Amino acid sequence: MSKNASVRRAPRMADVAAMAGVSGMTVSRVLRDPTCVTPETLQRIEQAIEATGYVANRVAGSLASRRTNIVGLIVPSLRNSLFVETIQGVSDVLGTSHPLMIADSGYSLAGEEAAIRAFLGQRVCAVVLHNTTHTDRSRVMLREAGIPCVETGNLTRQPIDMVASFSNRKAARAMTAYLIARGHRRIGFASLPTDDNDRAEERRAGYQAALSRARMPVDPALTIEVAAGLAGGAEALTYFLSLTPAVDAVFLSGDVLATGAVLEAKRRRIAIPKRLAIVGTDDSDLQERISPAVTTLRFPRYDIGRRAASMLLTRLDGRPVDPASVDLGFEIVERATA
C-alpha cells in the first residue's frame, strides 16, 4: 500500500531481462519479433514487461541502430484545412509505428529550412514537404542526410527525391479551358502573391497556357495578386468589374478567394453566372454550402497524403519506388457559378 519513497526510475530492458531470467538481447529480439524465441520464453518476457510496466526506450534504440522511425512533415500552415487533409492521410498510413513530427513553415522558405534543420537534428528517417521550392541550403541538407523525401504541393519536374501530387498547371489550364468552352472570352485570374509560392505561379502559367492555346490574348491587366481572405476575393472582383471592357469570367486561385468574390458579387446583385462566371480551386464542403454553390477544382489531398506515406514506407523498407513521381490528378466540380 505504501509507495516506495525513493524515486523509482523507469525500468530498463535489463530489468525485464533479469526478471524473465534471460539476457537483454533476447528481450530486444522479442520486442521486434515475438516468434523468434520459444513460446515459453516469450511468455516469461511478456509477463516481466507487464509486471514492470516497461516501455522500450526508442531514444537508446535509435542511437544504437543509428536510425529512428520518426517521419517529419512540414506544411505552410497548420490552420489551413487543405494541408490538414494531407496530414491526416499521412498519419493514417504511418499509424503508430512511425511517429509523426509536424512543423509549419509559416509560408516562408526560411521557416521551412529551420524546420528541416530541426528535423535532421532529431534524425528523422524521412520527410514530407508541401513546398516544392526550397532554399539551396534546404536542398543540400536533405541530400546530405540521404533520407527519403516526398513533396506533395505540386507535381514538380525536379523533385528533391519523390513527389506525390497533382499538376497545378494542368488543373488551372483545364479550368480555364472549361470557361472558354462555355463561351467566356475575357477571363480574369487572381491569386495570392506568387513569390515563394510555386503553386500560385504554376496556376497562373496554366491559365495563360489555356488562353494561348485558344488563341486568346493574354492581357496583363487580367492577372492580379491579392491578399488572402474573403476580403481579397472581394477586392479581386471589384477590380475586375472596374475594367473596360468588362470581364465575363473570373478564376480565383483558392477557395476562400472564390467565396469572397461570390459574396461580393451577390452584394452587388450581379447575375451569376449569367453576367459573370466565377470559379475557384480547392473544393471544400464550404463551396457547396454557400449560395450559389461555387464551381471549383477538387484535389485529392487526403490521397496524396496516403500515397506520400506509402512511398516513404516502401523506401524505408528497402524497396525501390517506381515511379518516383505520382500524379493523383484533379477534378472539375461543376456547380452553379459557371
Partner DNA sequence: TTGAAAGCGATACCAG
Partner DNA sequence: CTGGTATCGCTTTCAA
Binding site for DNA (CB under 7 A): 9-10, 12-14, 22-26, 28-29, 31-32, 36-38, 41, 54, 56-57, 60-61, 63-66
13 binds, options its own copies, DNA, none, Cβ within 5 to 8 A by partner type: DNA
For residue 54, the minimal CB distance to DNA (Å) is 7
Dihedral pair phi/psi, residue 103, rounded to 5°:
-140, 155
Cβ–Cβ under 8 Å, residues 84 and 55 = no
Binding piece for its own copies, criterion CB under 8 A, among 21-29, 86-94, 183-191, 315-323? 86-94
Bond preceding residue 273 cis, omega within 30 of 0: yes
User: Strand, coil or helix: what is 55?
Assistant: coil
For residue 220, the minimal CB distance to its own copies (Å) is 32
100 binds its own copies (CB under 8 A): yes
Given 42, 102, 241, 270, the residue binding its own copies (CB under 8 A):
102
Cβ–Cβ under 8 Å, residues 296 and 313 = no
Cβ–Cβ under 8 Å, residues 30 and 36 = yes
- Residues constituting the chain: 338
Residues 152-211 that bind its own copies (CB under 8 A): none
For residue 300, the minimal CB distance to DNA (Å) is 36
Given 48, 74, 87, 93, the residue binding its own copies (CB under 8 A):
87
104 binds, options its own copies, DNA, none, Cβ within 5 to 8 A by partner type: its own copies
Given 56, 109, 205, 316, the residue binding its own copies (CB under 8 A):
56
Binding piece for its own copies, criterion CB under 8 A, among 164-172, 215-223, 286-294, 306-314? 286-294
CA dihedral of residues 159, 162, 164, 169 (deg, nearest 10) = 20
For residue 247, the minimal CB distance to its own copies (Å) is 24
Please name the helix (run of DSSP H) or strand (run of DSSP E) that holds residue 233, with its range, or none.
Answer: helix 230-241
**CA-based nearest residue to 308, from 324, 329, 285:** 324
85 binds, options DNA, its own copies, none, Cβ within 5 to 8 A by partner type: its own copies
How many Å separate Cα 65 from the centre of its chain?
30
23 binds, options DNA, its own copies, none, Cβ within 5 to 8 A by partner type: DNA
Residues contacting residue 92 through CB under 8 Å, at least 6 positions apart:
305, 306, 309
**What is d(CA 51, CA 53) in angstroms, rounded to the nearest whole number?**
6
Alpha helices in the chain (DSSP H): 13-20, 24-32, 39-52, 58-65, 81-94, 109-121, 136-145, 168-181, 198-213, 230-241, 255-267, 285-289, 301-316
Query: Which stretches of the chain bind its own copies, using CB under 8 A?
Result: 10, 53, 55-60, 62-63, 68, 70, 77-79, 81, 84-85, 87-88, 91, 96, 99-104, 114-115, 117-123, 140-141, 144-145, 230, 259, 263, 285-286, 289-291
